[in-house]
Amino acid sequence: MAAAIALSMRGRGRTAPNPNVGCVIVRDGKIVSRGWTRPGGRPHAEADALDGADAAGADVYVTLEPCAHESARGPACADLLAAARPARVIVAAPDPDPRTDGKGVARLRAAGIEVVEGVMADEARRAMAGFFTRLEKGRPHVTLKLATSLDGQVALPDGSSQWITGPEARAHGHVERALADMIVVGRATVEADHPTLDVRLSGLGNRSPVRAVLTHDWSNFSKLDLRAEQPDWRHLPSPEAIRDLEGIDYLLVEGGAGAAAAFAGADLVDRLILYRAPILIGRGLSALGDIGLGNLENAHGRWRLADSRMLGKDRFEVYERAS
């Protein structure tokens, strides 16, 4: 299942509104076929894995319950699997989409195929967080990225921030971009840095996500300048406007302090990624602006450490929404 989850990440950021599923077919302890949801959402992972493979009598590992609904773009995966006659189907997470929601598993069992549920369900949900957030909250999954010094500064007072973190952390930041459907920055960041927000990693250049600017603080800013400079960028009038986005399941907020605080203050951050360099800056620019925190008690209990490791000399930490 861990292999299936890793495969599912290949589609992350390019399959919305379909979930980025992974699938592995195993016979006699060997992987005989692999599949993942392809860009645009089709084929589904199961169809991709079954294509050209003989699954009869094999074990099929799939990160999400196989869908039970046909569409113009293909048959239901539960039917495809039933026809392939595997011995067992091992499922990580149930599919809450009302068109499936248990029907996929029921259809497989009705066809006489053994089904095992809940294997590495948490890990699978994390890998497909955008799909689940969309279904459960009606909006994309939001990651907020902060790259700071040990004392929480993101730049010197003059705005210079090249470089706080090292090459390993910056490369990791580009992987995070490649796993997003859309990147958002604030107005001030566009004005100050004129960022391109593309994915500068060998082989992943074609994965640069849709770019957007948070325009909620549009005063003193010329839309014409931006439109001339970044004609293909989208405009978000507020953090809440992400609820209206279509085809965007994974959103990465890259800063600056105003945009980061706008999303955090609106309680719209699901995942916080921190890159911390072993340096002190002192007087500089803080990572976050006003998030409307009235007292310290309200700050607690919101974040749970999900990952922590070194990237070169920098520490990388992931915090997830605790509730």
CB of 6 to a copy of itself, least distance (A): 27
SS3 content of the chain, % helix, strand, coil (to 5): 30, 25, 45
Of 45, 60, 136, the residue nearest 97 (C-alpha)? 136
**Binding window for a copy of itself (CB under 8 A); candidates: 9-17, 85-93, 206-214, 312-320:** 312-320
Is 33 assigned a ligand-binding role in the annotation? no
In the region spanning residues 148 to 187, those forming contacts with a copy of itself, defined by CB under 8 A, are: 148-153, 156, 160-164
CA–CA gap between residue 61 and residue 137 (Å, rounded) = 27
Nearer to a copy of itself, 123 or 317 (CB): 317
- Known catalytic residue: 46? yes
Task: Please state, in angstroms and rounded to a whole number, the distance separating the CA atoms of residues 236 and 8.
Answer: 29
Residue 85 to residue 259: CA distance in whole angstroms: 51
Structure tokens at 181: 């459907």
Asked whether position 287 contacts a copy of itself by CB under 8 A, the answer is yes
Contact between 263 and a copy of itself per CB under 8 A: no
Q: Counting contacts by CB under 8 A, is residue 321 touching a copy of itself?
A: no
- Look-up of token digits 């302090």: 257
Residue 50 burial by Cβ neighbours in a 10 Å radius (0-12, 13-18, 19+): buried
Site for a copy of itself contains 189 (CB under 8 A): no
- Location of structure tokens 């203050």: 265
| Nearer to a copy of itself among residue 240 and residue 317 (C-beta) | 317
Q: Which residues are annotated as a binding site for Zn(2+)?
A: 44, 67, 77
Residues involved in catalysis: 46
- Residue ranges for the binding site for substrate? 161, 177, 197, 200, 254
Contact residues for a copy of itself (CB under 8 A)? 146, 148-153, 156, 160-164, 261, 264-265, 272, 274, 277-284, 286-293, 295-296, 299-300, 302-305, 308, 315, 317, 319
